[in-house]
Structure 1
């Protein structure tokens, strides 16, 4: 099983959507975590693989899964400056106020790296989400 978990995380990390789908077909849960608590969504988000992020989100994976440092996939996308991934995660319902083990939110992590475009992406997606929710109610 550990081999399959590793294979799934590597497929997500290296943008191999066919492998992700193949492992899922073979019965590997898309929410599995490795020994450090990382999921396929962590790996895809950290590396900016938008197609895989969209696929995993569409399959209903845990958007706020915590790794051993309590980072969510959104923390990693913010740290690494992946604007489209950040927007997709937020619009899909990822929690923007989760604190990691350093007591930092995804926005705090973006600020710590001077990634101002992440702040714009988060604000844009949050505003878009609020508009959508307002028009639904």
Structure 2
């Protein structure tokens, strides 16, 4: 984790780095304080991750809502083509998937390997996420690019 934070130090301003850290910890109070100071919530770390990626991947519902209320871009991708929807599907955060879809996230997104949210959820046995994705119109017949 320390190496990860050192890498981020090179790409983020100190307050932006603090926002990423607060988001990972689900420290809503600190996130609100930083957002109130007009910290760029769309600031990217060394791999293109934004605060919303951390919140969605960790299943932090309040953090996701807070970031979306302050105009976080719901479909921002990192350097690997991962967005908040793909991360939440991967880790089976059903409530986060619902929030993201209701906020306009593209259900038919894929990462650089052609893996969709459906692929990510299936690969990790996230059955509730799979049910939700199929019910939301996710195409489960799409093939990824991996042999």
TM-score (norm 2): 0.80
Displacement of 1:27 in angstroms is 2.1
User: Which residues of 2 match residues 19-98 of structure 1 at below 5 A?
Assistant: 19-98=30-109
- In the alignment, which of 109, 118, 124 is matched to residue 113 of structure 1? 124
Q: Is the 8 A contact 1:37 1:66 kept in 2?
A: yes
Task: Compare the two structures and name the one with the higher helix fraction.
Answer: 1
Q: Give 1:106 deviation, angstroms.
A: 1.2
Q: Is the 8 A contact 2:86 2:110 kept in 1?
A: no
Give the whole-Å Cα distance in 2 for the aligned partners of 1:17 and 1:48.
13
Taking the aligned partners of 1:23 and 1:62, their CA distance within structure 2 comes to 18
Q: Which 4+ runs in 1 deviate beyond 3 A?
A: none
- Matched pairs, number: 126
- 2-side partners of 1:54 and 1:123: how far apart? 23
Aligned Cα root-mean-square deviation (Å): 1.4
Q: Is the 8 A contact 1:90 1:96 kept in 2?
A: yes
Could you tell me the TM-score, scaled by structure 1's length?
0.85
Q: For residue 8 of structure 2, what is the aligned residue in structure 1? A: none
Question: What residue ranges of structure 2 are gaps of 5+ in the alignment?
Answer: 1-11, 138-147
